[in-house]
Structure 1
Amino acid sequence: MGSGEKAKRCVRCGEWKPYTAFARKRSNLDGLQRHCRDCASEYHRARQQTLGRKVRPKVEVPEGYKLCLKCGEIKPHSEWHRNATASDGLSTRCKTCRAAEGRAGHLKRHYGLTEAERDEMVASQMGLCPICLAAPAVHVDHCHKTGRVRGVLCFNCNSGLGLLRDNPEAMNRAADYLEGNAWKPTLVAPGVYQLPS
């Protein structure tokens, strides 16, 4: 403790510790808990064990690092999102784990698929987009009317279907256009067009 820093004696371990080692409690005269944070943590852990609950093992983590509860790795603070409501100001899961959970949650919410089901679809397509047969299949394609999943496409083919509004007639006209047979109606009378056969 530095000189001039206020200290308090913990009622559990009996040690004199700085005020920062104690959690707040407004109802006490000094505004702090009677026991230090370390003793409170040990007491809570022992109580949870006696109640038969699962208690995480305590892990020593160097300053500037944090343990991810999801992957079990100790990572620097730069690998964490901020969380103003948390006691240390950081999220409970690292950025990598949050991203993986976000992708899995997106698949489940929007398409009703798990990652394993999506990977099985990609494997059945031999990893390729079934439309262009060139690019890897990475984007889930679905019918916008029914919500039914049709397959996994590359970004360009999935975008193309969406931009043509999943309309088979528009896609047939696009195929005809690419083959050189452009759809050109003939003006028969004012406001009356004859469609090509």
Structure 2
Amino acid sequence: MKKCSACQKVLPVSAFARNKSRPDGLQANCRECAAEYYRERQEAKGRTVRVKVPVPRGHKRCPQCEEVKSHAEWERNQTSSDGWASYCRPCRAERNRVSYFQRKYGLTPAELDAMIAEQQGICCICLSAPAGHVDHDHETGRVRGVLCFSCNAALGQFKDRPDVIRRAATYVEGNAWKPTLVAPGVYQLPS
């Protein structure tokens, strides 16, 4: 048992945090008084402190969706104090998605949604599949639009070269001439 210097209550030792610099190895104030002091100091600085919500054992509260979920819905993180990620799997995936589009293309979720809505939610090239992949110029980084996976991959395979894409279109339309054999091992390409 130990007496808290702030609230003057005699509490069990488990109610005090550790402090190696003190003779008894414990803080002078109990955990509740220390938390209240911390909250007051943060509010004085104009910051807010999250309210601690009690959760059952084997569960954790997500600060984004504010739901208490079982540990099965969390990623492991050995560097955190409790061994679990800060956000549940769905919230973490959404945060990573938002962060990726902001970092890679400079797009906010609202801007990306506006681009997709402008295209009526379909790919600009095939006009049939849902748009879900941001297409950009690899040299300048400028975003051109939102395409389906297949069309975006096709542009990548053609290395964004319009001349190759035109030849591919001509080939698919059946208008391309085949190379003619001029001499053994020598072919003449169509002009």
TM-score (norm 1): 0.80
Matched, 1:17 2:1: no
Unpaired runs of 5+ in structure 1? 1-7
Aligned counterpart, 2:109: 115
| CA distance in 2 between partners of 1:92 and 1:180 (Å) | 56
Matched, 1:44 2:38: yes
Matched, 1:129 2:130: no
Which structure has more strand as a fraction of its residues?
1
Q: Tell me the alpha carbon deviations over residues 145-173 of structure 1, each in whole angstroms, 9 at most, x when there is no partner.
A: 22111111000111011011111222222
Contact preservation (8 Å) 1:173, 1:183: no
RMSD: 2.6
Aligned counterpart, 2:143: 149
Aligned-pair CA distance for 1:131? 1.2
Aligned counterpart, 1:101: 95
Which residue identity does 2:90 align to in structure 1?
T
TM-score (norm 2): 0.82
| CA distance in 2 between partners of 1:156 and 1:131 (Å) | 10
| CA distance in 2 between partners of 1:52 and 1:111 (Å) | 33
Structure 1 pair 68–186 and aligned structure 2 pair: CA distance change class (3 A) = same
Query: Identity, % of aligned pairs?
Result: 58
Aligned counterpart, 1:196: 190
Which residue identity does 1:124 align to in structure 2?
E
Q: 1:82 aligns to what SS in structure 2?
A: coil
**Number of aligned residue pairs:** 189
Unpaired runs of 5+ in structure 2? none
Aligned-pair CA distance for 1:189? 5.6
| CA distance in 2 between partners of 1:40 and 1:82 (Å) | 29
| CA distance in 2 between partners of 1:181 and 1:50 (Å) | 75
